Structure 1
């Protein structure tokens, strides 16, 4: 046995315990850091081969591991832009260097330029929202992402494109009975245009089975001139003996130009759902709506659990503008931690997979909530005491080896 080896083993043990104390110190310091994932020190022994019957003391090495996949608890706030992920996945953020990173730290604040930036200075990324199709995701990369921006800018206008109108037509009325109702649409300049829907009972066919027919026409009357323009020629609605609408399920009005503004062709759903148009022995009743937004400023925003960012307008309308992107890897605990509570891909983490909240194995987004650090103060204090005692014990080994070495040197005297 080598006395120098004994001393080196003691030093190895002290260094290992110092590393453990370093991770404990980091964990305690970040116990209140949003989205922080604790570090832990794992020990493994170093065994040296024996030679000539003499035991060679080895030592101990350490490996730092991160509990990135362990979810913390949630703290609820009053800010809609405070975001947490309930389940798997990470937010995608970009730093001042223009590089994308992953994070669970969702304490985002709206900046003066409209972007969402967390307390570490990283900007939230996502895709521009489309009502017709989901954006194409580059599964293993960040292409197509843009900064989510809630800047209101000037007044916003969205011309109407579609809507629904469900009515009950009185079944016991005589042929020729007529009833009208109205919906408001928005043209390209944000003007409100009142559309009149007129239903006229045509008659009953003998069958079998018996059916009832109504004519529906859609018109617009200019409030200044009183001129009426048909947007839809009479369309026959056919009802079965059960009072349910058989055909058609929807109608499409004609586009028209009014005072330099364009009123789009509107697709109006009138059937094909549980609350569709009916013909029953009850009074005339109607419910419906047409999309679009008149001239209105942004008064706020709302973020749904599937990551869609809505802008709230002063007139009460809401419009989806962005969809928050999410990412994950096969081995989150092997991601590379970086300053600012962000992570980057490593050779051991696996490739980055992109997606949306609520599908494809990704968790849901909680608006008005923050994920707490997953550090347990009690465990860290216990680990601190253990490391302190073990460090002292290893120092005693070093001290003993040093004293024996002194005895050996003094044998010559």
Structure 2
């Protein structure tokens, strides 16, 4: 057995405990960092060949491991742009150089340009809604991603495209009896227009006709025959929505009324007086952006008056082995050699968790465990230093034998 080998083994042990103390210090320092994942030091032995009655002491090496896949606790805020992933996945963020990273830190706020950025300055990325159509995710890359921007676009109007109107028609009505109701809709510039719904009793049992007329121009936009069974239910039971004709452009403004898809499936016939359910319609009159909302699927809506307009859908990413991701400054991660390929998707689909607005994921550091680890590292470091000191004393004895 070599005394120098014992000294080198003691030094190896002290270095290993220093590394452990370093991860403990980092964990304690980041115990309040949003989305931070605990680091730990794993030890493995280094064995040297021995034989013939001689033992060669080896040493110990360390490897830092991050518990990235372990979810932290929740804390709730009042900001709609504070986001937390409840389950698997990472937010995709972009740095100043345009490189994309993964992160669980969702404390985003709008910057001067309206882009959502977190405390480390990384910009949240997503897909833009175009003409209200849900975007398609690129599952094997970051192509198509744009910064999620919530800048005010000024006064915005949204034309109506779909709605509903249900009614209860009197079963004892005579042929030719009419009942009317109206629905307010919006043209392409947000101007309100009234559509008159006229229900006329036809000859035969349970047969009515429905006409939809634009009141201002007296234009018939659609006609539908309604037939009810003995129980007063529509036949067929789930009719396709009624499509109206487009209208316009209107003189002066040049605005148009788009074809409307009107759901009338809740219309019934009963021994009651005529009554409607009030109807519903999408679209909005001209208004400024008054705020925004983010739902659990990551859809970012801008609020214009009482209307929510989808603007972006937040993209998420994941890998086969999250704990093997490569940590970077700013609480972000890049793909590592052993992490697996990055796959992108949307919240609530596949292995991706839901997104919670007005919530943040806490650090998964347990202070009590870290303090315990710190005491253990201190004691073990002292014990290894004693090995070094003892071997050094034995060398002094060996040198002094000549005297």
Q: Aligning the two structures, in what range does the TM-score lie when normalised by the shorter sequence?
A: over 0.9
SS of equivalent residue, structure 1 residue 203: coil
SS of equivalent residue, structure 1 residue 175: coil
User: CA shift at 1:147, angstroms?
Assistant: 0.8
Q: Whole-Å Cα distance in 2 between the matches of residues 42 and 235 of structure 1?
A: 73
User: CA shift at 1:283, angstroms?
Assistant: 2.0
Q: Give the structure 2 partner of residue 30 of structure 1.
A: 30
Matched, 1:239 2:239: no
Q: Whole-Å Cα distance in 1 between the matches of residues 293 and 132 of structure 2?
A: 20
Query: Which range is displaced more, 24-33 or 129-138?
Result: 129-138
Instruction: Give the alignment's Cα RMSD to 1 decimal.
Output: 1.3
Q: Give the structure 2 partner of residue 214 of structure 1.
A: 208
Query: Which range is displaced more, 42-51 or 135-144?
Result: 135-144
Matched, 1:279 2:269: yes
Q: Give the structure 1 partner of residue 359 of structure 2.
A: 369
Matched, 1:123 2:113: no
Q: Judging by fraction of residues, say which structure has more strand.
A: 1
Matched, 1:299 2:290: yes
Q: Whole-Å Cα distance in 1 between the matches of residues 48 and 141 of structure 2?
A: 46
Report how many aligned residue pairs link the two structures. 397
Q: Give the structure 2 partner of residue 359 of structure 1.
A: 349
SS of equivalent residue, structure 1 residue 381: helix
- 8 Å CA contact retained: 2:132, 2:310: no
Equivalences for residues 171-190 of structure 1 within 5 A: 171-190=171-190
Q: Whole-Å Cα distance in 1 between the matches of residues 112 and 130 of structure 2?
A: 25
User: CA shift at 1:412, angstroms?
Assistant: 2.1
Deviations 1:272-328 (A, max 9, x none): xxxx11111122221211211221101011111111111111x21111111111111
Q: Give the structure 2 partner of residue 195 of structure 1.
A: 195
Q: Whole-Å Cα distance in 2 between the matches of residues 191 and 133 of structure 1?
A: 23
SS of equivalent residue, structure 2 residue 52: coil
- 8 Å CA contact retained: 2:163, 2:280: yes
- 8 Å CA contact retained: 2:327, 2:334: yes
User: CA shift at 1:131, angstroms?
Assistant: 7.2
Q: Whole-Å Cα distance in 2 between the matches of residues 108 and 217 of structure 1?
A: 50
SS of equivalent residue, structure 1 residue 384: helix
Q: Give the structure 1 partner of residue 376 of structure 2.
A: 386
Matched, 1:410 2:368: no
Q: Give the structure 1 partner of residue 258 of structure 2.
A: 264
TM superposition outliers: structure 1 runs of 4+ over 3 Å? 130-134
Query: Which range is displaced more, 30-39 or 139-148?
Result: 139-148
Deviations 1:134-179 (A, max 9, x none): 4222212111111111111211111111111111111111111111
- 8 Å CA contact retained: 2:135, 2:313: no
Runs (5+) with no aligned partner, structure 2: none
SS of equivalent residue, structure 1 residue 153: coil
Q: Whole-Å Cα distance in 2 between the matches of residues 322 and 9 of structure 1?
A: 57
Deviations 1:389-412 (A, max 9, x none): 000110111111111112212222
Equivalences for residues 42-81 of structure 1 within 5 A: 42-81=42-81
SS of equivalent residue, structure 2 residue 312: strand
Q: Whole-Å Cα distance in 2 between the matches of residues 55 and 140 of structure 1?
A: 53
Q: Give the structure 2 partner of residue 340 of structure 1.
A: 330
Deviations 1:358-390 (A, max 9, x none): 111211111100000000000000000000000
Query: Which range is displaced more, 392-401 or 44-53?
Result: 44-53
CA distance change for structure 1 residues 63 and 36 in 2, over 3 Å: closer, same or farther?
same
User: CA shift at 1:261, angstroms?
Assistant: 1.1
